[in-house]
Amino acid sequence: MAYALDVKRLGLGIAATLITAALMWFGTGMHPFWPLMWFAPLPVLLFAADASWWGALLVGGLACALGNLNLWGYFHATLGAPLSIMLRIYITLGLMFALALLLYQALLRRNAYWSALLAFPASWTSFEYLLNLASPHGTAGSLAYSQLSFLPFLQLASLTGPWGMSFLVLLLSTALGLGIHLYRSDRNQALNIFGVSAGVIAVVLVFGSVRLMLPAPGDTVKVGLVASDGPNEDVAEEGAPTARLFQAYAEPVAALAAQGADVVVLPEKLGVAVEPDTRAVDAEMQSLAEQTHVRVVAGLIRVVPPSAANIVKIKYNEARVYTPGAPVLSYDKQHMLPPYESNLTPGTSLTLMAAAGGAGTWGVEICKDMDFTQPSRQYGEAGAGLMLVPAWDFVDDYIEHGHIAIMRGVESGFGVVRAAKGGSLFVSDNRGRILGEVKSDAAAFSTLLVTVPQTHDKTLFLLLGDWFAWVALALLLLCLMQLVRLWKKRHGA
């Protein structure tokens, strides 16, 4: 009989591991199907309720690690991450998921049901937040990004940032797991736990639906985007190659201007300009802006040679802004992608400008900057209603990485105009709706012309920042204190 029970438990553990891993595999990654992530943890939560602690640890860790293998090829083949770093990533993810599951199990076994309900989502959300503070990749990898297509739920980002979204996604599975486990022994408690959790989620979805229905106030602007893959995707060498590439971009820029674009955004790192050659590029692009009466934002690597003031060569990943009748503005990328950009100097300041017609404010960021809540929140605090974003993706990650920028717009109240080579060109409003998108390899020079609101929207996230992450940390601490208290009570301490 004991052997039969062990075989059954082993079978249940394997089934829970594989089902959760499959739901995570398809619910996250390059092309996430958002409904799956709401139920992904449920099988391992149900298994943990009656399993040994080491069984729960093993099943939870393996399920999370296997589910995240959907990004193995991207990390290893595309980004070139060494095997040692890959193993560290998967061990860390699996261990943190397993520890969250163990805390849930320990509180459940001690009949602390409400604490168990909060423990699992609070643990993982706290991990995401602390990882965001320490990682060079910021919020990338957060479960919240699996929900970018679920627009009513995405509006929660305007209140809590990604942290509230990750918490509620995991709360549903936890409530279901508790409800199913308790239904026979304590039906009222099971219904109360699930009812309260479902009620909170319902309120969030009502809020999001109403927010989506409210008309966007203020002015709109026509924005153009241009990107080219193929031979134009690599960084052009300094001098004549860079000059030729900028000249090649001039024709589609002029065509978009003729169609009414007020601003045209080009990708990042189109070419290299070594001082004082930047003046020649600026003269070419400023002339284009003057002739076409359109503002142009273009990315390049600006190199400052050694001098008496700087004994070493300094390189910047820079966006140059060319406005008819105005001096050239520049923005230096603040968050670099290691190891590819480790030789570049990060910027430290914002670049703000008057919107077309003077009705509002625009800002500039570059690609990976949008993986972080800052500097986007600083731009939001400055009243930016539109963010112009030159970028460069790795082809397959145009959704998984490129669309991260959409959440920054919802959090900080601005529309996003993002032009990436090796990815896509898209425009989203401050509600996260994609107003237009085209792949960068759709033509020799892919273009997009979209009308987007340019009015800044005030949000609670702008006012209070990462307040919900601190709530999650506080809840985790309370759950740990509750576990210690119950342990002492049980052992008469």
- Which of 145-149, 270-274, 303-307, 391-395 bottoms out in mean pLDDT, i.e. has the lowest? 303-307
Domain with 361, as residue range(s), is: 220-456
Residue 96 is predicted with a pLDDT of: 98
**Taking the CB of residue 117, how many other CB atoms lie within 10 A of it?**
24
Task: Judge if 233 and 210 occupy the same domain.
Answer: no
Task: Judge if 113 and 184 occupy the same domain.
Answer: yes
Q: What is the dihedral of CA 481, 162, 423, 292, to 10 degrees?
A: -150
Domain final residue, candidates 214, 237, 260: 214
Sorting pLDDT into bands at 50, 70 and 90, what band is 5? low
Sorting pLDDT into bands at 50, 70 and 90, what band is 3? low
Number of domains observed in the structure of the chain:
2
Q: Which two tokens stand for residue 417?
A: 């105009």
What's the whole-number mean pLDDT along residues 439-467? 96
Number of residues written out for the chain: 493
Higher per-residue confidence, 308 vs 171: 171
Task: Judge if 256 and 167 occupy the same domain.
Answer: no
DSSP state of 74: I
Task: Judge if 208 and 242 occupy the same domain.
Answer: no
Residue 311 is predicted with a pLDDT of: 73
Task: Judge if 156 and 255 occupy the same domain.
Answer: no
**Taking the CB of residue 448, how many other CB atoms lie within 10 A of it?**
25
Q: How far apart are CA 204 and CA 256, in angstroms?
A: 40
Range ranked top by mean pLDDT from 49-53, 99-103, 453-457 = 99-103
> Residue 490: inside a domain, yes or no?
no
pTM of the predicted protein model? 0.95
Residue 418's domain is classified under what CATH number?
3.60.110.10
Task: Judge if 209 and 333 occupy the same domain.
Answer: no
- Which of 423-427, 466-470, 485-489 bottoms out in mean pLDDT, i.e. has the lowest? 485-489
Residue 230 is predicted with a pLDDT of: 78
> Residue 201: inside a domain, yes or no?
yes
pLDDT surpasses 80 at 233: no
Q: How far apart are CA 410 and CA 387, in angstroms?
A: 12
Q: How far apart are CA 421 and CA 392, in angstroms?
A: 5
- Which of 234-238, 350-354, 402-406 bottoms out in mean pLDDT, i.e. has the lowest? 234-238
> Residue 480: inside a domain, yes or no?
no
Q: How far apart are CA 396 and CA 29, in angstroms?
A: 10
> Residue 462: inside a domain, yes or no?
no
Proportion of the chain above pLDDT 90, given as a percent: 90
Residue 306 is predicted with a pLDDT of: 82
* Those residues with Cβ within 8 angstroms of residue 22's Cβ, 6 or more apart along the chain or in another chain: 67
Sorting pLDDT into bands at 50, 70 and 90, what band is 24? very high
What's the whole-number mean pLDDT along residues 374-401? 96
Q: What is the dihedral of CA 193, 196, 201, 202, to 10 degrees?
A: 130
Place of tokens 């022994």: 185
E strand segments, 99-246: 220-227
CA angle, residues 213, 216, 220, in degrees to nearest 5? 145
118-134 burial string, b = 16+ CB within 10 Å, else e?
bbbbbbbbbbbbebbee
- Report phi then psi at 265, rounded to 5: -110, 130
Residue 358 is predicted with a pLDDT of: 74
Residue 26, judged by CB atoms within 10 A of its CB (0-12, 13-18, 19+), counts as middle
Sorting pLDDT into bands at 50, 70 and 90, what band is 412? very high
Residue 307 is predicted with a pLDDT of: 74
Q: How far apart are the first and last CA of the chain?
A: 38
Residue 47 is predicted with a pLDDT of: 97
> Residue 38: inside a domain, yes or no?
yes
Residue 493 is predicted with a pLDDT of: 62
Check: CB of residue 377 under 8 Å from CB of residue 462.
yes
DSSP state of 261: -
> Residue 196: inside a domain, yes or no?
yes
Residue 21 is predicted with a pLDDT of: 98
| Average per-residue pLDDT for the chain | 95
Residue 359 is predicted with a pLDDT of: 77
pLDDT surpasses 70 at 2: no
Q: What is the pLDDT of residues 133-149, one digit of tens each?
A: 999 999 999 999 999 99
> Residue 144: inside a domain, yes or no?
yes
Q: How far apart are CA 403 and CA 145, in angstroms?
A: 8
* Collapsed DSSP state (helix, strand, coil) of residue 120: helix
pLDDT surpasses 90 at 120: yes
Task: Judge if 336 and 292 occupy the same domain.
Answer: yes
Task: Judge if 435 and 339 occupy the same domain.
Answer: yes
> Residue 437: inside a domain, yes or no?
yes
